[in-house]
Structure 1
Amino acid sequence: MYDPFAPGPFAVNSRSVQARDASRDRLFPCEIWYPEAAQPGSHPLILFSHHSGGSRLASTFLCTHLCSHGYVVAALDHSETIATELGRPENETAEQRTARMEAILANRLLDIRFLLDQVLSITEFSLDPDRMGIVGHSLGGWTALATADSELRIRAVVALAPGGASHPKPGIIPAKLSFAWGRDVPTLYLVAENDIATPLEGMYDIFERTPATKQMVILRRADHLHFIDNIEQAHEAARTMTFPPELAWLQQEIRPIAEFCSGEQAHLFVRGLTLCHMDATLRYQQEAQGFLAGDIAAELAARGVDAIVPPTA
């Protein structure tokens, strides 16, 4: 019986590498997860893009789960985490911040293309260039969606609470998603009911604009950080950290973690549905396709996870 929520049959190996992009003179820390003793033949590849302020190891709970099911998964530390010129200067003006964000967005797309080329050059992984997808959270979700514009090798997207929607409050990623895909890139949106950084209204906006086969599932009693490792600790740390002035409103609106679903429930939600989407679109597994066409909310409820599948999905 098909169960995307259960760990896969393969032991998970990982490799940390330093890859230099000569065109930008940057050395990128990269992480590659690959299945041990996988069956001979080519393997699908999934790229992971982390949130702003995160790292390639932000969501290892997801990367290792995908790998245990036979996927090679790769991630890097994006440019804004390693390039001092993209860091926030003191007394930054609004105009400077806009210019810096534009540079960060442009560099993220170059980062992903560089990562993809680097991983494909490692012949021992026997990767299938026709079966490649991308997953991203927050700014990484924006990165995943924007990558599909120009990177024709990407065949599937999972966007976790992505940035890029119109937002009524300052400091959030601008709405710069053109969706000029020109082809069908099946896309799954996994979003949080109580997200204050990327609210549901904006998620519906992005969803409706997506020019592809698409689906959305909403995790109830969840906020923006329910898609990373160590959810409880990260959420509580966010409640006490010092935000830049344009994001000060975030601290005022973050609710206590006790009001939300558990990290275990959130991880189950993200792991199972992400794997199912990739199995359905990259492996064309009929069981996965049937799962996504069925009563997803009931399947999740049976596992103790409260979720909503919007009628528009």
Structure 2
Amino acid sequence: MSDSRDVNQVYDPFARGSFPAGTKSFEWNDATRDRSLPVDVWYPATDAHRGQDLAPETQDEFQPFALAPAVTQEAVRDGEAREGRFPLVIFSHGFGGVKTQSTFFCTHLASHGYVVAAMNHVGNTTLDMMRMATAPPPAGFIDTFMSDRPADASFVIDRMLVGDSGLAIDPSRIGISGHSFGGWTALNTAGRDPRIRAALPLAPAGGAAAAAPGEIPNALRDGLALDWDREVPTLYLVAELDTLLPLDGMRDLFVRTREPRRGIVLLNSDHFHFCDRVEQTHDMFKQIGPLISGSAGDPKATEQMTAAINGMKSSQDLAPGAHAYALNCGLGLAHMDAHVRDNRDAMRLLEGDLCALMAGRGIQVAEL
């Protein structure tokens, strides 16, 4: 890609990049599956948009889903794209999430010269799960989600590589990330799609421990093979006090994952520390989570999930969201730079003492 960054500049993946971030929205149809996916793309914009992605009066305002209040993100809607060929990162949202759940990370990557594409996993979005909570879920719904999600991710890679977004992608430089069920999706897709060079699962599902034992967590674990036939460098970023997907499950995933791998635990954090508006999202889920936990379709699992949610700390008693953003943006970017871009400075950073690095920023973490 064209890159005007000063080669003598000290490598700092925590700082916002030098490019303004743009964003566009698409609707792409996978005719082979009769499946239409809304997709958002973030990318490096031209200098004409400098500062517009950060200024409240010019940055993008959007609704995460119908009926939700409008929110902003650090990107310019339909900004003119910078010329060049760029690395690609796919992002997969969590169970009952949306494609814009983690714009803090997507826009950070775009400011550093990445193109990021995130799809709504239709059938498993926020509105879908709200509807499912009031009616019995269809038979085999979790198997459908497990089949659809990795196929969605690979389909979006296909569309990005043929230029449907209007952006030029380097096909040899592709990574994937995702949160919760999206972390499971990232791991699953990384194992089956040879175009992916690096994986960044955030508090992923698929471990042996879950808040609500039953059909869903067992299916997710059984459906996730991590003894891949090639190396895919993997960095786990997880929460110490994860209510929905406890730390023991993260350790189970980690030890099953083929090397090279590394895992970092954000101390005193919970499941939603990897989403936009951490405090608001966490406290909202603590309020409404018991109302929608019926979407699991298993009465016993619903009961245990509700009990776990009721036991969640309030956001004011947890690590601040700003700490999670710094961890996710800094180490997440460094992981992609090291293994998608072959950046030696990033490799050296990741080979060092990450606990000391984060402590120097006032952020407490531990090795997984």
Taking structure 2 as the reference length, the TM-score comes to 0.79
Give yes or no for the alignment of 1:141 onto 2:188: no
- Equivalent of 2:112, from 47, 56, 69? 69
Instruction: State the SS of the aligned residue for 1:46.
Output: strand
Q: Is the Cα–Cα contact under 8 Å of residues 79 and 104 in structure 1 kept in the other structure?
A: no
Instruction: State the SS of the aligned residue for 2:98.
Output: coil
* 1:35-73 superposed Cα distances (whole Å, 9 cap, x missing partner): 024875421100000011111100000000001000000
Shift of 1:84: 6.8
- Alpha-carbon distance in 2 for matches of 1:154, 1:11: 26
Q: Could you tell me which runs of 5 or more consecutive residues in structure 2 were left unpaired when the two chains were aligned.
A: 1-9, 47-80
Shift of 1:28: 1.3
Give yes or no for the alignment of 1:104 onto 2:148: no
Q: Is the Cα–Cα contact under 8 Å of residues 88 and 175 in structure 2 kept in the other structure?
A: yes
Give yes or no for the alignment of 1:154 onto 2:212: no
Instruction: State the SS of the aligned residue for 1:67.
Output: helix
Instruction: State the SS of the aligned residue for 2:29.
Output: strand
- Alpha-carbon distance in 2 for matches of 1:79, 1:106: 12
Instruction: Call closer, same or farther: CA 1:267–1:84 in 2, change over 3 Å.
Output: closer
Instruction: Call closer, same or farther: CA 1:252–1:13 in 2, change over 3 Å.
Output: same
Residue of structure 1 in register with 2:253 after alignment: 206
* 1:144-197 superposed Cα distances (whole Å, 9 cap, x missing partner): 000022211011000000000112533553312112420000000000010121
Residue of structure 1 in register with 2:173 after alignment: 131
Instruction: State the SS of the aligned residue for 1:164.
Output: coil
Shift of 1:285: 1.0
Instruction: State the SS of the aligned residue for 1:119.
Output: helix
Task: Look up the equivalent residue of 2:202 and give its one-letter code.
Answer: L
- Alpha-carbon distance in 2 for matches of 1:135, 1:155: 11
Give yes or no for the alignment of 1:56 onto 2:99: yes
Q: Is the Cα–Cα contact under 8 Å of residues 79 and 86 in structure 1 kept in the other structure?
A: no
Shift of 1:90: 5.2
Shift of 1:87: 6.4
Give yes or no for the alignment of 1:164 onto 2:206: yes
Name the % identity. 40
- Alpha-carbon distance in 2 for matches of 1:135, 1:286: 21
- Alpha-carbon distance in 2 for matches of 1:86, 1:146: 26
Q: Is the Cα–Cα contact under 8 Å of residues 53 and 81 in structure 1 kept in the other structure?
A: yes
**C-alpha RMSD of the superposition:** 2.2
Q: Could you tell me which runs of 5 or more consecutive residues in structure 1 were left unpaired when the two chains were aligned.
A: none
* 1:257-278 superposed Cα distances (whole Å, 9 cap, x missing partner): 1110111111111110100000
Shift of 1:309: 1.9
Residue of structure 1 in register with 2:63 after alignment: none
Taking structure 1 as the reference length, the TM-score comes to 0.92
- Alpha-carbon distance in 2 for matches of 1:55, 1:194: 23
Q: Is the Cα–Cα contact under 8 Å of residues 80 and 87 in structure 1 kept in the other structure?
A: no
Q: Is the Cα–Cα contact under 8 Å of residues 243 and 309 in structure 2 kept in the other structure?
A: no
Residue of structure 2 in register with 1:283 after alignment: 341
Residue of structure 1 in register with 2:22 after alignment: 13
Give yes or no for the alignment of 1:43 onto 2:90: no
Residue range with higher mean Cα deviation, 217-226 or 77-86:
77-86
- Equivalent of 2:307, from 231, 240, 249? 249
Instruction: Call closer, same or farther: CA 1:239–1:121 in 2, change over 3 Å.
Output: same
- Equivalent of 1:261, from 319, 322, 327? 319
Task: Look up the equivalent residue of 1:159 and give its one-letter code.
Answer: P
- Equivalent of 1:292, from 342, 347, 350? 350
Instruction: State the SS of the aligned residue for 2:24.
Output: strand
Residue range with higher mean Cα deviation, 285-294 or 25-34:
25-34
Residue of structure 1 in register with 2:122 after alignment: 79
Residue of structure 2 in register with 1:195 after alignment: 242
- Alpha-carbon distance in 1 for matches of 2:323, 2:209: 28
- Alpha-carbon distance in 2 for matches of 1:24, 1:84: 19
Q: Is the Cα–Cα contact under 8 Å of residues 20 and 45 in structure 2 kept in the other structure?
A: yes
* 1:276-296 superposed Cα distances (whole Å, 9 cap, x missing partner): 000010111111111111111
Task: Look up the equivalent residue of 2:18 and give its one-letter code.
Answer: P
Q: Is the Cα–Cα contact under 8 Å of residues 96 and 129 in structure 2 kept in the other structure?
A: no
Q: Is the Cα–Cα contact under 8 Å of residues 43 and 110 in structure 2 kept in the other structure?
A: yes
- Alpha-carbon distance in 2 for matches of 1:290, 1:279: 11
Residue of structure 2 in register with 1:115 after alignment: 156
- Alpha-carbon distance in 1 for matches of 2:262, 2:186: 15
Residue of structure 1 in register with 2:33 after alignment: 24
Q: Is the Cα–Cα contact under 8 Å of residues 79 and 111 in structure 1 kept in the other structure?
A: no
Q: Which runs of 4+ in 1 moved over 6 A?
A: 82-87
- Alpha-carbon distance in 1 for matches of 2:147, 2:131: 15
